[in-house]
């Protein structure tokens, strides 16, 4: 997720500069580009993303977007990360102040990117992998978090 964005930024900047250069006779201005991730930062981001993919696979059988809604435990859990709607609403409000309705939460839990973003917040910023008790134990998430911190 992060690697894709970091890799596409230089391409987009170069393409926009090329287009700007063709638009008129005025010389193109060079935009300041934020430096890319260091190899250490890239490894850290990759490991974090891999852990999220493992969690989604453990919880729902796969990771990434799904063509149809995913439910577990007779509809109590939603999406790849198997959120309850109440948990999704509570942690979204905690993260950025957004207040979701139950309907919005049901839609957002099915959106892999939105659910992964909230999962990232819960695991890496709040250090709360216990929301996924079985898969957290099965995957050894606390130990993986410790190794990630050591990088």
Same domain flag for 62 and 28: no
Same domain flag for 31 and 74: no
Same domain flag for 129 and 95: yes
Same domain flag for 44 and 32: no
Number of domains composing the chain = 2
Same domain flag for 46 and 32: no
Same domain flag for 53 and 121: yes
pLDDT in tens, the chain (151 residues): 444 444 444 444 444 444 444 444 444 454 454 568 899 899 999 999 999 999 999 999 999 999 999 999 999 999 999 999 999 999 999 999 999 999 999 999 999 999 999 999 999 999 999 999 999 999 999 999 999 888 7
Phi and psi at residue 28, in whole multiples of 5°?
-70, 140
Same domain flag for 59 and 1: no
Same domain flag for 7 and 59: no
d(CA 59, CA 110): 13
Same domain flag for 85 and 30: no
Domain that holds residue 44: 38-150
> What would the two tokens of residue 13 be?
């900047």
83-to-51, 90, 92, 123, 149 alpha-carbon distances in Å: 17, 11, 12, 13, 26
């Amino acid at each position: 997720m992060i690697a894709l964005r970091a890799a596409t930024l230089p391409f987009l900047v170069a393409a926009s500069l090329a287009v700007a250069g063709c638009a008129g006779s005025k010389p193109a201005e060079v935009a300041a580009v934020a430096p890319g991730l260091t190899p250490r930062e890239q490894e850290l981001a990759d490991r974090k993303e891999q852990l999220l993919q493992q969690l989604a696979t453990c919880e729902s059988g796969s990771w990434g977007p799904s063509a149809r809604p995913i439910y577990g435990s007779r509809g109590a859990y939603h999406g790849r990360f198997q959120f309850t709607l109440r948990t999704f609403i509570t942690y979204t409000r905690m993260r950025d102040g957004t207040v979701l309705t139950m309907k919005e939460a049901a839609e957002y839990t099915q959106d892999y990117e939105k659910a992964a973003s909230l999962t990232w917040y819960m695991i890496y910023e709040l250090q709360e992998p216990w929301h996924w008790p079985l898969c957290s134990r099965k995957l050894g998430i606390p130990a993986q978090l410790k190794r990630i911190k050591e990088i």
